[in-house]
Chains A and B, each alone.
Chain A
Amino acid sequence: MSTVDAFMPSGRGRDPYRLGHGHREAHHLARGHGEGGPARKRVVVAYGFWIFLLSDIVMFSAFFAAHAVLQTATAGGPTGRDLFDPMSVALETACLLVSSFTCGMSAVATGARSQLWTQFFLAVTGVLGVAFLALEAHDFAGMIAIGAGPQRSAFLSSFFALVGCHGLHVTAGLLWLGTMMAQVFVKGFRPNILRRLLCFNLFWHVLDIIWIAIFTMVYLIGEGR
């Protein structure tokens, strides 16, 4: 069962793998290209959320661009090579990647309509997210303690803004995750809850994608400078 398929409301018009591009039952499977009228709500919500995620990626790209411009503007202060701790970065990356996996597992559990396993995997995702944030906060605190805070140089300003912005997104994601767990617990797998779980999954995976870009652009390239 595919991840997206897990969020189909059970009982009506399931179309594994075609994602709404089918030709039977034009009304249910409208693809929004005009033939069948308005697309279904699940398609509309997921599509709108994708557009939001794209805009979020554009916002990050502005911070990435700023970091690329300012990466060498250390103003005589410490460089990435002096500051970054590869072990800690590796652990953070591991936490996030595994949390993406467990988030996917929660989607499988949602597909099976299992309250218990959905909650379990969402909780594991949350714990890994908290662990990531704790490691990041520890790194930040260590840097600030040795006088390498964002006020030290433009390089560090852009570093703290970019990585911190991702951290803020993870924090917001954790708040959302907690809210979703409560909603799934109280309301069950209603169609609107399923749509929100789908959006949450998309959000969490996109945070991973952005982290991979941070890992490459900030840490790998930064270590090399």
Chain B
Amino acid sequence: MLGKLTWGAIPWDQPIPLIAGAVVFALFFAVVVWVIVKGHLPYLWHEWITSVDHKRIGVMYVMLGLVMLFRGFIDALMIRSQQALAFHAAGYLPPEHYNQVFSAHGTIMIFFAAMPLVIGLMNFAVPLQLGVRDVAFPTLNSTSFWLTATGALLVNISLVIGEFARTGWLPYPPLSETQYSPGVGVDYYDWALLISGVGTLMTGINFVTTILKIRAPGMSYLRMSMFCWTSLAANLLIVAAFPILTATLAMLTLDRYLGFHFFTNEAGGNMMMFINLIWAWGHPEVYILVLPAFGIFSEVISTFSGKPLFGYRSMVIATMFICIVSFMVWLHHFFTMGSGGDVNAVFGIATSVIAVGTGVKVYNWLFTMYGGRIRYATPMMWSVAFIVTFIIGGMTGVLLAVPPADFMLHNSLFLVAHFHNVIIGGVVFAVMAGITYWFPKAFGFRLHEGWGKAVFWLSVVGFYAVFIPLYGAGLLGMTRRLQHYDFALWRPWVLAAGFGMIFLVGSAVAQVIQLVVSYRQRELLRDELGDPWDGRSLEWATTSPPPAFNFAVLPNVSNEEPYWEMKRGAIEAQQMSAEPDYKPIEMPHNSPTGFITAFFSTITGFALIWHIWWLVGVGLVAAYAVFVWFAWRDIEEYEIPAAEVARLDRERRAPRARWLERNAAGRPA
């Protein structure tokens, strides 16, 4: 009846996951009770859960990403403290548990923290920057989000029901085959990623279509903001790379469930094929994360330097260059496979060449700052720290791209330090900059600057304190994923890294305080104008927060910085442009389709993990029923009357007109 699921699946003898699970469940339960008692449920359902508004979906993605970032950070604390203790000792995490912790840390950080954070910011900002009302397929967008949430939920369920994979964040066979991983850990991994991967793929399709087909009048390709360009490149990579991940994990699943021999030791299986396939997805994935990050920094550096982005066209070319070459370097993840000197040389050179694209970008950012009137607000500080940190990470990357050096450093903590260097210094710093930058647009008030700077300094110091020692330990030969060790030379480096975690804990605490303080002081931090940073792209042309339809009238675009031009025009003319002719606007209806689909996906995924076959059938039939029910709807859109559009737009214009009067001298703030 319940397949492999028994009471024994709950780890009664392991206090850590049990207590953690109990705390999380209690918190979740308390929130649900609070929501119901306070009567917020209808609001949540109508305004958020069923929302197909790209801004709301973006905010939910970012919230999911932050929660998962916290979960992944706790795993990181456990890894660092275990290694700090486990010198000539067993530490406090037994091997089977420690292996789950580092596997969960990597899986969660990449798939359920970094991806949702980056996709959330794209969701929020891209349609606004394109000057349009929504993405191409709004309901599909909602479904993407909820499927990602399904994946995150399944990974977290594994904490208390059963176990998670012990194979690392990429389940290399034959270790991940049934013979060596008979438990449900790898199955949790497989189904969580297969389900959330579908969501990510649909996001890719949605955003490629949106950026290529839905833009404000006059916005030709070379008038798009740099964030839109990098998002386009990232989503093209999603469309081209995520199907490979789906296929690869499907093959592993067939091996595990039906006794196929894709990657097994016997019957002709080829486990190196898994390594090739997974990295054919895995290396583009790196750029799926970091290209939007580059876009965020481009926006932030240009805005806070008060200058247009230097070398816009070279930036576009560098972005698309990286987009294409990112598919030609995957083998550098396993130079030690033994494919021979020639093959290794080709991939080593390709890997060094891809750094040229990033180099072009770094110089463009520096020249954007050069001669600018730089304001060191929090997003700008993250950007400057990024440039320095990412250059260090990039250089260690180029070092690893040299095959002979890689043979020494492969699988060492040097590698671990390198990819944390580029992912934290690139993606996480960008996300922090992006959240601070767009927060006022999303919520109508800025984040507290002082606490923002506290988060910044604690994070940057903490990052260097943790990962520079890991470079040292790696150079001394310490391999990754060690549950315990007895080599005295590594000990001080490991202790130093453990000590550095204290700063990162501080930054996490400061981040929570910043959110609370900002919320309490929201009237002081209010952004009435809708343009808190003296911005240059179209998202600042509307109110903070924007109305559901974003723009009462789609803006006309005639250059790369449409809002800057609009603003300069108004300041020079000392008046706003004439009030347009307001027309009614059609907007897509809210839809519970995404939530219901994800609900049944969660059930189906759970049933597949535990071999509860009848429940799998129920889930699939329900999925088809939802599909037909959604397709059967007659009314897809509702109309916002012209009078309401006019009222909302006059609310937008009034503070701007007042600002013009106050600043009659004509200098922007």
The interface residues of chain A lying within 8 Å CB-to-CB of B170 are: none
Q: Given the known A-B contacts A37-B217, A63-B247, A161-B260, are A196 and B212 also in contact in the complex, defined by CB atoms under 8 Å?
A: no
The interface residues of chain B lying within 8 Å CB-to-CB of A39 are: 213-214
The interface residues of chain A lying within 8 Å CB-to-CB of B269 are: 70, 73, 154, 157
The stretch of B182-190, B200-208, B464-472 that contacts the partner chain:
B200-208
Please determine whether A33 and B262 come into contact, CB atoms closer than 8 angstroms: no
Please determine whether B270 and A73 come into contact, CB atoms closer than 8 angstroms: yes
Residue on B with the closest CB to A38? B214
Task: Indicate whether B230 reaches chain A with its CB closer than 8 angstroms.
Answer: no
Task: Indicate whether B216 reaches chain A with its CB closer than 8 angstroms.
Answer: yes
Please determine whether A59 and B213 come into contact, CB atoms closer than 8 angstroms: no
Complex CA gap A153/B267 in Å reads 5
- Pick the residue among A34, A35, A158, A183 that contacts B631 (CB under 8 A): A183
Please determine whether B270 and A55 come into contact, CB atoms closer than 8 angstroms: no
Please determine whether B137 and A59 come into contact, CB atoms closer than 8 angstroms: no
- Interchain nearest-CB distance for A43 vs B (Å): 6
Task: Indicate whether A127 reaches chain B with its CB closer than 8 angstroms.
Answer: no
Q: Given the known A-B contacts A55-B205, A69-B273, A161-B251, are A34 and B219 also in contact in the complex, defined by CB atoms under 8 Å?
A: yes
Task: Indicate whether B277 reaches chain A with its CB closer than 8 angstroms.
Answer: yes
Task: Indicate whether B246 reaches chain A with its CB closer than 8 angstroms.
Answer: yes
The interface residues of chain B lying within 8 Å CB-to-CB of A161 are: 250-251, 254, 260, 262
Please determine whether A43 and B213 come into contact, CB atoms closer than 8 angstroms: yes
The interface residues of chain A lying within 8 Å CB-to-CB of B255 are: 157
Residue on A with the closest CB to B216? A37
Interface code B575-590, partner A: CB below 8 Å = 1, 0 otherwise?
0000000000000000
Interface code A100-142, partner B: CB below 8 Å = 1, 0 otherwise?
0000000000000000000000000000000000000000000
- Interchain nearest-CB distance for B297 vs A (Å): 25
Task: Indicate whether B132 reaches chain A with its CB closer than 8 angstroms.
Answer: yes
Interface code A29-42, partner B: CB below 8 Å = 1, 0 otherwise?
00011111111000
Please determine whether B267 and A75 come into contact, CB atoms closer than 8 angstroms: yes
Task: Indicate whether A22 reaches chain B with its CB closer than 8 angstroms.
Answer: no
Please determine whether B137 and A48 come into contact, CB atoms closer than 8 angstroms: yes
Task: Indicate whether A10 reaches chain B with its CB closer than 8 angstroms.
Answer: no
Complex CA gap A211/B215 in Å reads 37
- Pick the residue among A38, A47, A59 that contacts B247 (CB under 8 A): A59
Complex CA gap A51/B136 in Å reads 12
Task: Indicate whether A88 reaches chain B with its CB closer than 8 angstroms.
Answer: no
- Pick the residue among A38, A58, A75, A153 that contacts B213 (CB under 8 A): A38
Task: Indicate whether B526 reaches chain A with its CB closer than 8 angstroms.
Answer: no
Complex CA gap A196/B631 in Å reads 10
Complex CA gap A37/B132 in Å reads 9
Complex CA gap A36/B557 in Å reads 11
Please determine whether B262 and A66 come into contact, CB atoms closer than 8 angstroms: yes
Please determine whether A52 and B277 come into contact, CB atoms closer than 8 angstroms: no
Interface code A148-173, partner B: CB below 8 Å = 1, 0 otherwise?
00111111011011000000000000
- Pick the residue among B201, B213, B636 that contacts A192 (CB under 8 A): B636
Q: Given the known A-B contacts A70-B262, A154-B267, are A62 and B243 also in contact in the complex, defined by CB atoms under 8 Å?
A: yes
Please determine whether A55 and B209 come into contact, CB atoms closer than 8 angstroms: no
Please determine whether A34 and B215 come into contact, CB atoms closer than 8 angstroms: yes
The interface residues of chain B lying within 8 Å CB-to-CB of A34 are: 215, 217-221, 223, 557
The interface residues of chain B lying within 8 Å CB-to-CB of A155 are: 268
Interface centre among B204, B242, B627, B628 (most CB of A within 10 A): B628
The interface residues of chain B lying within 8 Å CB-to-CB of A213 are: none
- Interchain nearest-CB distance for A196 vs B (Å): 7
Please determine whether B221 and A55 come into contact, CB atoms closer than 8 angstroms: no
The interface residues of chain B lying within 8 Å CB-to-CB of A74 are: 268
- Interchain nearest-CB distance for A184 vs B (Å): 12
- Pick the residue among A35, A58, A73, A150 that contacts B259 (CB under 8 A): A150
- Pick the residue among B213, B219, B247, B268 that contacts A70 (CB under 8 A): B268
Please determine whether B205 and A52 come into contact, CB atoms closer than 8 angstroms: yes
Task: Indicate whether B632 reaches chain A with its CB closer than 8 angstroms.
Answer: yes
Task: Indicate whether B554 reaches chain A with its CB closer than 8 angstroms.
Answer: yes
Q: Given the known A-B contacts A66-B251, A66-B277, A73-B270, are A157 and B213 also in contact in the complex, defined by CB atoms under 8 Å?
A: no
Complex CA gap A183/B630 in Å reads 12
Q: Given the known A-B contacts A154-B261, A154-B268, are A54 and B624 also in contact in the complex, defined by CB atoms under 8 Å?
A: no
Q: Given the known A-B contacts A36-B217, A154-B267, are A55 and B260 also in contact in the complex, defined by CB atoms under 8 Å?
A: no
Residue on A with the closest CB to B556? A37
Please determine whether A58 and B244 come into contact, CB atoms closer than 8 angstroms: yes
- Interchain nearest-CB distance for B658 vs A (Å): 30
Complex CA gap A19/B397 in Å reads 47
Task: Indicate whether B248 reaches chain A with its CB closer than 8 angstroms.
Answer: yes
Please determine whether B209 and A51 come into contact, CB atoms closer than 8 angstroms: yes
Task: Indicate whether B10 reaches chain A with its CB closer than 8 angstroms.
Answer: no
Please determine whether A48 and B206 come into contact, CB atoms closer than 8 angstroms: yes
Task: Indicate whether B258 reaches chain A with its CB closer than 8 angstroms.
Answer: yes
Residue on B with the closest CB to A157? B260
The interface residues of chain A lying within 8 Å CB-to-CB of B626 are: none
Give the residues from 164 to 193 in chain A that come closer than 8 angstroms, CB to CB, to chain B: 175, 179, 183, 187, 192
Please determine whether B262 and A59 come into contact, CB atoms closer than 8 angstroms: no
- Interchain nearest-CB distance for A70 vs B (Å): 6
The interface residues of chain A lying within 8 Å CB-to-CB of B259 are: 150-151
Interface code A62-100, partner B: CB below 8 Å = 1, 0 otherwise?
110110011001110000000000000000000000000
Residue on B with the closest CB to A164? B254
- Interchain nearest-CB distance for B256 vs A (Å): 12
The interface residues of chain A lying within 8 Å CB-to-CB of B254 are: 150, 157, 161
Please determine whether A48 and B258 come into contact, CB atoms closer than 8 angstroms: no
Complex CA gap A147/B205 in Å reads 41
Complex CA gap A66/B242 in Å reads 16
Interface centre among A55, A161, A187 (most CB of B within 10 A): A55
Residue on A with the closest CB to B272? A69
Please determine whether B636 and A59 come into contact, CB atoms closer than 8 angstroms: no
The interface residues of chain A lying within 8 Å CB-to-CB of B261 are: 75, 150-151, 153-154, 157
- Pick the residue among B206, B209, B250, B631 that contacts A179 (CB under 8 A): B631
Residue on A with the closest CB to B634? A187
Task: Indicate whether A44 reaches chain B with its CB closer than 8 angstroms.
Answer: yes
Task: Indicate whether A15 reaches chain B with its CB closer than 8 angstroms.
Answer: no
Please determine whether A44 and B258 come into contact, CB atoms closer than 8 angstroms: no
Complex CA gap A69/B248 in Å reads 14
Residue on B with the closest CB to A190? B634
Please determine whether A38 and B132 come into contact, CB atoms closer than 8 angstroms: yes
Can you pick out 29 interface pairs between chain A and chain B where the beta carbons lie within 8 Å of each other? A34-B218, A34-B220, A35-B220, A44-B214, A47-B209, A47-B212, A47-B213, A48-B137, A48-B206, A48-B213, A51-B205, A54-B239, A55-B240, A55-B242, A59-B244, A59-B246, A62-B248, A62-B277, A63-B251, A66-B247, A66-B262, A73-B268, A153-B261, A153-B267, A154-B262, A154-B269, A157-B260, A157-B269, A161-B251
The 10 closest A-B pairs by CB, nearest first: A73-B268, A34-B220, A154-B268, A62-B247, A59-B243, A37-B217, A157-B260, A48-B209, A32-B213, A58-B243
Given contacts A35-B220, A48-B208, A62-B277, 20 further A-B contacts (CB under 8 A): A32-B215, A33-B221, A34-B218, A35-B218, A48-B136, A48-B209, A55-B240, A55-B243, A59-B244, A62-B248, A66-B247, A66-B251, A70-B269, A151-B259, A154-B269, A157-B269, A161-B254, A161-B262, A179-B631, A183-B632
